[in-house]
Amino acid sequence: DTGVSQDPRHKITKRGQNVTFRCDPISEHNRLYWYRQTLGQGPEFLTYFQNEAQLEKSRLLSDRFSAERPKGSFSTLEIQRTEQGDSAMYLCASSDGPFAKDEQYFGPGTRLTVT
Amino acid sequence: DAKTTQPPSMDCAEGRAANLPCNHSTISGNEYVYWYRQIHSQGPQYIIHGLKNNETNEMASLIITEDRKSSTLILPHATLRDTAVYYCIVRVAGSSNTGKLIFGQGTTLQVKP
């Protein structure tokens, strides 16, 4: 068990470009979450997957954002036509178990800078 | 999920106990209290959670008042590596819930030598 991994760790992009981030959860964790964190703030929930099904999306997830979790394993988060306001740390977390006693294990995050 | 209120910052001397308070006066009967912490430039880390009873694990103790309207996270012997932002989160735990975490601003704990 190597923990939750995210790739890349850092991404610098120009405004208007598309970016894609990957999250590899702890194996066999059926729940996967994406959060966004801006400087000085706590993480904000973006979206939730149970296995391959995307069951909840935050209002923060505009139509420029899309997330997938094919086959219930790794997940990708894509941002199209990036804006400077998208600059943030994007965190992925996973958990297991049918009940939400389950602690979430967070990855190290992908820091996005939009110039 | 109920809202929580935490002091923005606290200091603690190395080796002493750190007591981090959290108010959650609107907590419902089926809501748990969770604590996570975030060390600089890392993802949040789970510490402990509880419903009604006090809880203890290898990292910390959680004391929940009888009316459940507030709680205290206790780090018994704080070290410099405990310097972090500590988040108190209240959420419903159940199979029909997504389990998403709603983070507030947290308390920045500075452990000083």
| Tens digits of residue pLDDT in B63-104 | 999 999 999 999 999 999 999 999 999 987 665 678 888 999
A48 vs B contacts (CB less than 8 Å): 98-100
Query: Are the Cβ atoms of A99 and B87 closer than 8 angstroms?
Result: no
Query: Are the Cβ atoms of B104 and A33 closer than 8 angstroms?
Result: no
For residue A7, the distance in angstroms to the closest alpha carbon of chain B comes to 14
At a CB cut-off of 8 Å and minimum separation 6, what does B30 contact?
B92, B93, B94
pLDDT mean over A75-92: 97
Q: How many helices (H) and strands (E) does chain B have?
A: 0, 9
How far is CA B112 from each of CA A44, A102, B15, B44, rounded to the nearest angstrom?
30, 33, 9, 21
| pLDDT-derived band at B22, boundaries 50, 70, 90 | very high
Residue to substitute from B5, B53, B62, B101, interface A, most A β-carbons within 10 A: B101
B32 vs A contacts (CB less than 8 Å): 100-101
Q: Would you state the structure tokens that stand for residue B99, as one six-digit string?
A: 């389990």
Amino acid at B55: E
With CA atoms as reference, the chain B residue closest to A48 would be B98
Q: Would you state the structure tokens that stand for residue B37, as one six-digit string?
A: 């912490």
Neighbouring C-alpha atoms within 13 Å toward the C-beta of A7: 6
3-state secondary structure labels for all residues of A20-35 = EEEEECCCCCCEEEEE
**Mean pLDDT, rounded, of chain B:** 92
What sign does the dihedral B50-B56-B61-B65 (CA atoms) show?
Answer: positive
